[in-house]
A = this chain, B = another copy of it.
């Protein structure tokens, strides 16, 4: 365990990374909004395993929150985050303030259509433009060989991959598996918003996704699979924003169970006033996993 170096300045961060690249070191980057949990540290651990040096950013990005969303309330605890990252061998923590990333008068945004349009793109207008814009800027500040994201935010990963592809950015996008609590609830900084009783109901989300996976493998009709999931959540008073089986890349709705279509069940829902997202990859029925 080494003490990470905390850097607040974009230019300093960039020079440090470029210098280390020049020395032949492979750099891994884990962008976060802080409030770190085992999902984040799993990204860090994978980056540490695959790279010589790991940089983690902690930045609650205002441009990806809508005006009615939880930017102000979003949990922040730098000291706890620092200690956790130190335990996981992060070399640098990039922790700029808002004006460092968005100086006064700043007016350039990256807009992505395609994968950024449906689902979260529709329900959170501007969200993915905010994500793309900050990821681009963070990658300018920390020009790394690889950047790590969690599969829980599936659509976000697609959007970042699209930007990296379309703009030919020199970085590998690595997707890491969702980390769950023992009862199945996907780890999320927003889980701290849940009351005790809401926290008890929330694991139903993943239980319903697992049931859907089984129904998928048994060849039930898509509509039936989706309806059964919705029924299971409704029984626990969980409100559904969307719950669709879609193509993993195009995010187009899948109308028939097909052994060769790469499919994912995407869900966004509200437990009380807390909005949570989750997903499950639906295995190819030709595989033994089905």
Return the CB mask of A90-126 against B: 1 if under 8 Å, else 0.
Answer: 0000000000000001111111111110000000000
Q: Are B162 and A108 in contact (CB under 8 A)?
A: yes
Q: Are B107 and A109 in contact (CB under 8 A)?
A: no
A11 surroundings in chain B (CB, below 8 A): 168
Residue on B nearest A166 in the bound complex, by CB: B108
A267 surroundings in chain B (CB, below 8 A): none
A112 surroundings in chain B (CB, below 8 A): 107-109
Return the CB mask of A134-171 against B: 1 if under 8 Å, else 0.
Answer: 00110011000000000000000000001100111100
Q: Are B107 and A114 in contact (CB under 8 A)?
A: yes
CA distance A115 to B105 in the complex (A): 10
From residue 28 to 85 of chain A, which have CB atoms closer than 8 A to chain B?
none
Shortest A261–chain B CB gap in Å is 18
Residue on B nearest A163 in the bound complex, by CB: B108
Task: Indicate whether A10 reaches chain B with its CB closer than 8 angstroms.
Answer: yes
Q: Are B168 and A140 in contact (CB under 8 A)?
A: yes
Residue on B nearest A18 in the bound complex, by CB: B170
CA distance A136 to B132 in the complex (A): 15
* Given A111-B111, A136-B167, A141-B168, 18 other A-B residues pairs in contact with their CB atoms under 8 A: A11-B168, A14-B168, A105-B114, A106-B166, A107-B112, A107-B113, A107-B114, A108-B112, A108-B162, A108-B163, A108-B167, A109-B113, A110-B110, A111-B129, A137-B167, A137-B168, A140-B167, A140-B168
- Could you tell me which A residues sit within 8 Å of B by CB distance? 10-11, 14, 105-116, 129, 132, 136-137, 140-141, 162-163, 166-169
